[in-house]
Amino acid sequence: MLTSNKLNIFNMDLRDLENFFISMGERSFRAAQIMKWIYHKHVIDFDTMSNISKLLREKLAKCSELRLPEVVSELVSKDGCHKWLIRIDNSNCIETVFIPEIDRGTLCISSQIGCPVDCSFCATAHQGFNRNLTTAEIIGQVWLATNSLGGYTHGGNRIITNIVLMGMGEPLLNFCNVVKSIALIQDDLGFGISKRRVTLSTAGVVPALYRLRDISEVSLAVSLHAPYDKLRDELVPLNRKYPISELLKACNYYIAGKPYRRITWEYVLLDGINDSVQHATALAALLKYIPSKINLIPFNPFPEARYRRSSPETMTRFRDVLMKHGLTAITRRTRGDDIAAACGQLAGEVQARGRGRRTSQVF
């Protein structure tokens, strides 16, 4: 993949673009014009932007570009899920997934090449970690998926209604690029997705949670997976740095004073590991006073995985214990597992830094 010294406009939000045009001696309103072409009309050729003067188009072409990652392949599951393998550079690919449902369409995007958090039940962690994605590489996934899916139905409704940063990587370890991408996703001049329909999933980078609360309007999902520190230390090694008590304090701060906010807790059920009645009771006690929804996720296997999925009976019993204690708990239906697009299965193709090896994409 060729590199370029030109500024990639996909790395810029509205304020960046306004400053960019002012630096060129142009009026700031040009930024809104360009964004409408890119995100509303899906035009990425300067010459096609008819309300921009020929002179300005030539100036833009000399110093800037509209460069997207490359789609290597697209797979469609028997249940309608789409998975794109997207090339980021010569050595690395990421994966992006679209999950259609009757009342919404959810796009799951990645924020890093691989993941440094190293959760023991996740395929991405087994791929290692290379680097953070740029804003252009994050927002490019949304642009490519929207373009591939056609943008809108014949009735004028959006195909992509929800966006979740739940793909490869820990979003809060790529804070600035992720926050800028969220702004573009929510901006009316960008993709115009409602604030409540954009969700960031984190394993619990506590200092970043405090920063995020004051600068971004995004829903929060927290990968919990255990009610005790000792067990969570094994499943989510980040817990050794930010234990559950600190994480809960940060989550309470995140929703304080904002009554429409609640935390979605993600809990992958692993057979004989974290799925007993005792675990469910402890989890209920832990979350009792936090406005919450708990997503119970069946474990999705991948090569080299050392865990097994809990039985349907065990998952139902776990959910019933939570509901008996007054919590909202939903068992998530597995989608896209026939193309390895289910939760925890995204792997892509990662040249892991410091490991001296290249791992293969997993389908």
Of 93, 108, 119, 343, the catalytic one is: 343
Does residue 99 come out as left (phi exceeding 0), alpha (psi in the -120 to 50 range) or beta?
beta
pLDDT of residue 259: 77
pLDDT in tens, 295-311: 999 998 877 788 999 99
DSSP annotation of 277 reads H
The tokens for 21 are 């045009």
Active site residue 93: no
What single string gives the DSSP state of each residue in 308-343? -BPPHHHHHHHHHHHHHTT--EEEPPP-SGGGT-ST
Q: State how far the Cα of 221 lies from the Cα of 242, in Å rounded to an integer.
A: 16
What one-letter code names the amino acid at 194? Answer: S
pTM as predicted: 0.90
Q: Return the closest-CA partner of residue 30 out of 40, 18, 48.
A: 18
pLDDT in tens, 179-217: 999 999 999 999 999 999 999 999 999 999 999 998 998
- Strand ranges (DSSP E) for the chain? 7-8, 64-65, 70-76, 82-87, 93-100, 105-108, 112-114, 129-132, 162-165, 198-202, 219-223, 263-269, 292-298, 329-331, 351-352, 357-358
The tokens for 203 are 């394993």
Question: Does 90 have pLDDT greater than 90?
Answer: no
Q: What are phi and psi of 33, to 5 degrees?
A: -60, -45
pLDDT of residue 338: 63
Average pLDDT, the chain: 90
The tokens for 201 are 């999933």
Q: Where are the domains of the chain?
A: 7-65, 70-358
pLDDT of residue 357: 35
Question: Does 360 have pLDDT greater than 50?
Answer: no
DSSP annotation of 6 reads S
Q: What number of residues does the chain have?
A: 363
Higher per-residue confidence, 303 vs 171 = 171
Least-confidence region, from 2-11, 84-93, 174-183, 308-317: 2-11
Name the CATH topology of 70-358: TIM Barrel (3.20.20)
Q: What is the CA radius of gyration of the chain?
A: 21
Q: Which whole-number Å values give the CA distances from 258 to 19, 210, 219, 254, 346, in the listed order?
A: 32, 14, 11, 8, 33
Of 18, 65, 95, 349, the catalytic one is: 95
The tokens for 153 are 């139905």
Least-confidence region, from 14-23, 59-68, 71-80, 155-164: 155-164
Active site residue 343: yes
Question: Does 355 have pLDDT greater than 50?
Answer: no
Is residue 94 within 8 A of residue 333, CB to CB? The reply is no
Question: Does 132 have pLDDT greater than 80?
Answer: yes
Name the CATH topology of 7-65: DNA polymerase; domain 1 (1.10.150)
Q: Return the closest-CA partner of residue 267 out of 239, 295, 307, 228.
A: 295
